[in-house]
Amino acid sequence: QSVLTQPPSASGTPGQRVTISCSGSYSNVGSDNVYWYQQVPGTAPKLLIYNDYRRPSGVPARFSGSKSGSSASLDISGLQSEDAADYYCAAWDARLQGYVFGSGTTVDVL
Amino acid sequence: EAKVVESGGGLVQPGGPLRLSCEGTGFMLSNYWMHWVRQAPGKGPVWVARMNEDGRRTDHADSVRGRFTISRDTARNTLYLQLNSLRAEDSALYYCVKDFVGPEESWGQGTLVTVSS
């Protein structure tokens, strides 16, 4: 059972906006940065968002992150077919003294 | 271009040891936090361990603490993960990650560990 909770699935048509939530607690999301990963089956996870909302070089601007209290969100605006993948949130957990990942959300582009 | 390449995975019996290696090219391990992350087939990624830039600080996940040890050889620019007392639930693809969760993050292709009799 994951420390961070995400909805198992989300979907949208091309051009739509999709939002994925990540719910944690005071010891992780509520007290430290949140990170978001995209994983296409058969490949390594790819960092999309770091430090709550920052994008690494090369990540499209349609991906954005936000946080409020112990919950965070990843928004994908202008959904594209290549966005079909699994998405994971992650954070440092001060109580466990380690990084924890979310349960993962599979995004389908209809 | 910074790159990490893992090796050392394989089939091992329960209770046995294994040592994974991660060679860095195009950068110095001593300039970054280095991490190991694993992922079992069909499951999400799980953080395993990390070492800081000067090698003096290491952290291990609760599930592996006391059984796994992260270390490095700066002369070889290589990171290691010593796996002892292996269990079936340790079976996974093990990734070496440079600058995990940072803007210069880089993952290897992974090395597969299978624990089975």
Q: What is the pLDDT of residues A5-36, one digit of tens each?
A: 999 999 999 999 999 999 999 999 999 999 99
Question: In chain B, positions 12-71, which contact chain A (CB-CB < 8 Å)?
Answer: 37, 44-47, 59-62
Provide, as residue numbers in chain B, all residues whose Cβ is less than 8 Å from the Cβ of A86: 44
- Locate A51 and state its tokens: 């430090």
Question: In chain A, positions 43-102, which contact chain B (CB-CB < 8 Å)?
Answer: 44-47, 50, 54, 56-57, 86, 88, 90, 96-102
The answer to whether B57 and B70 are in contact (CB under 8 A) is no
- Locate A86 and state its tokens: 């699994």
What pLDDT is attached to residue B39?
98
- Locate B87 and state its tokens: 């269990």
Provide, as residue numbers in chain A, all residues whose Cβ is less than 8 Å from the Cβ of B102: 50
What pLDDT is attached to residue B57?
97
First to last CA, chain B: 40
The answer to whether B110 and B94 are in contact (CB under 8 A) is yes
Per-residue model confidence as pLDDT tens digits over A41-71: 999 999 999 999 999 999 999 999 999 999 9
What would the mean pLDDT of B1-29 be, rounded to a whole number? Answer: 97
What pLDDT is attached to residue A1?
78
Per-residue model confidence as pLDDT tens digits over B60-103: 999 999 999 999 999 999 999 999 999 999 999 999 999 999 99
What pLDDT is attached to residue A10?
98
What pLDDT is attached to residue A2?
86
**Are the Cβ atoms of B101 and A90 closer than 8 angstroms?**
yes
Q: What are phi and psi of B89, to 5 degrees?
A: -70, -5
Contacts made by residues A42-46, CB under 8 angstroms, sequence distance 24+: A44/B95, A44/B107, A44/B108, A44/B109, A44/B110, A45/A88, A45/B37, A45/B45, A45/B107, A46/B107
**DSSP string for residues in A6-69:** --SEEEE-TT--EEEEEE--TTTTTTS-EEEEEE-TTS--EEEEBTTTB--TT--TTEEEEEET
Confidence of residue B46 (pLDDT cuts 50, 70, 90): very high
Measured CA to CA, the distance from residue A91 to residue A29 in angstroms comes to 6
Measured CA to CA, the distance from residue B99 to residue A35 in angstroms comes to 13
| Candidates A45, A57, A96; nearest CB to B45 | A45
**Are the Cβ atoms of A88 and B61 closer than 8 angstroms?**
no
Mean pLDDT of chain B: 97
Provide, as residue numbers in chain B, all residues whose Cβ is less than 8 Å from the Cβ of A93: none
What would the mean pLDDT of A65-81 be, rounded to a whole number? Answer: 97
What pLDDT is attached to residue B74?
97
Measured CA to CA, the distance from residue B50 to residue B107 in angstroms comes to 14
What would the mean pLDDT of A74-102 be, rounded to a whole number? Answer: 97
Find the radius of gyration of the CA atoms of chain A: 13
